[in-house]
Amino acid sequence: MFKFKDLSEGNDFNIAEYRLSPHEFFEKRRTSKRPYVFDLRSSEAHEAENIPGSHSLPIEHFETSIYQMPFAGDILLYGGEDGEVLTAAEILYDNGFDSFSFTDSYEALFSNANTSYLSITDSAGEQINNKLQSVDALKGVQLIVEPTSPLKANYQLEFVESPPESSIQFKVAGILVFSERKNVSYLEGTIIEINEDGDLEARNPQLSISKLSGSLEDQIQLMLDEQVNPMLASHGGNVMLEGIKDSAAYVRFGGGCQGCSMIDTTVKQGVEVMLKEAIPELVGVFDVTDHSEGESPFFTG
């Protein structure tokens, strides 16, 4: 078990080098090939509200869990208001980790969310204002974000009389736009516009799910690229499409997924369910990986 040592005077550890602003934190999470996000608050606080895709690791268990930390990939930390991230950063530094960053607290992640995150086209603004003016009870629009992976989500709009208590509020072009706090990382760059059918639509060029089209193989590959692999990447794994036969997909797992004791659950309850829900003509997903050659993964669940 690793033991935490207090940093002595003269130590070359510069904590400022590892601190990220909320904007930098979300950007690093979005652009890193292998991000691991840890919530250092209590498990109760994590269950009540968290950043989608983050792993709960209360600070009191951090020191005894450090041997499980990934040495390959970017570790991203956030905690509460009691300086948990500073303690965790010191522990990581003292034990040879260098690919880690933190933001000051969970609450800090929402501090710089502002109107620059969203834009509304003129035609969409006109349609929204017409609706709001015709129904006095309506207060604005709720931007509903449904994450499908740490880096992809579906976006919807709904006119509301009162937003959920967990919502944050933006005023864009004079229009009140509400969205749940926990989904702030999916908001920056979102556009509210009129689509080709003449309906209001919200999309994020970087994070929206692409519409599936093309052959069965094309659709499966797009799902793996946009939804499945970003999810597996947070566990240090990946999956590749080996081929299609009789409308079934044959896949090969790599990284932390190769040799994982929970791979059957990952395939049947994770990958297969996700693919079949999106692609009805897909009849099944079969794993052709030789798991005897895999190394012990970071996470087994």
Question: Token digits for 244?
Answer: 């299609």
Picking from 81, 110, 139, the residue at the C-terminal end of a domain is 110
The pLDDT assigned to 232 comes to 75
Any idea what the CATH number is for the domain that residue 250 is in? 3.30.300.130
The pLDDT assigned to 124 comes to 97
Nearest partner of 202 among 224, 223, 187, judged by Cα: 187
Residue 209 lies in a domain: no
User: 67 vs 20, 71, 262, CA distance in Å?
Assistant: 24, 10, 20
Picking from 203, 227, 248, the residue at the C-terminal end of a domain is 203
Mark whether 144 and 126 lie in a shared domain: yes
Picking from 49, 78, 110, the residue at the C-terminal end of a domain is 110
Mark whether 227 and 277 lie in a shared domain: yes
Specify the DSSP class assigned to residue 161.
S
Regions of the chain with pLDDT less than 70: 1-11, 71, 233-236, 256-269, 291-301
Query: Is the pTM of the predicted complex or chain greater than 0.75?
Result: no
Mark whether 255 and 193 lie in a shared domain: no
The pLDDT assigned to 101 comes to 94
Residue 36 lies in a domain: yes
Secondary structure of residue 117 in the 3-state scheme: helix
Mark whether 92 and 153 lie in a shared domain: no
The pLDDT assigned to 179 comes to 94
Residue 154 lies in a domain: yes
How many domains does one find in the chain? Answer: 3
Mark whether 138 and 78 lie in a shared domain: no
Mark whether 105 and 19 lie in a shared domain: yes
Mark whether 181 and 223 lie in a shared domain: no
The pLDDT assigned to 74 comes to 87
Any idea what the CATH number is for the domain that residue 156 is in? 2.60.300.12
User: 297 vs 71, 121, 146, 238, 252, CA distance in Å?
Assistant: 12, 46, 28, 12, 16
Nearest partner of 195 among 140, 120, 124, judged by Cα: 124
Residue 77 lies in a domain: yes
The pLDDT assigned to 11 comes to 59
Mark whether 105 and 142 lie in a shared domain: no
Domain of 278, in residue numbers? 216-293
**Residue 86: phi, psi to the nearest 5?**
-70, -45
Residue 278 lies in a domain: yes
**Residue 285: phi, psi to the nearest 5?**
-130, 130
The pLDDT assigned to 145 comes to 93
The pLDDT assigned to 300 comes to 38
Q: Which residue stretches of 75-158 are H helix?
A: 84-94, 122-134
Contact call for residues 180 and 166 (beta carbons, < 8 A):
yes
Residue 113 contacts by C-beta under 8 Å, 6 or more apart in sequence? 22, 168, 170, 184, 187
Residue 185 lies in a domain: yes
Residue 238 lies in a domain: yes
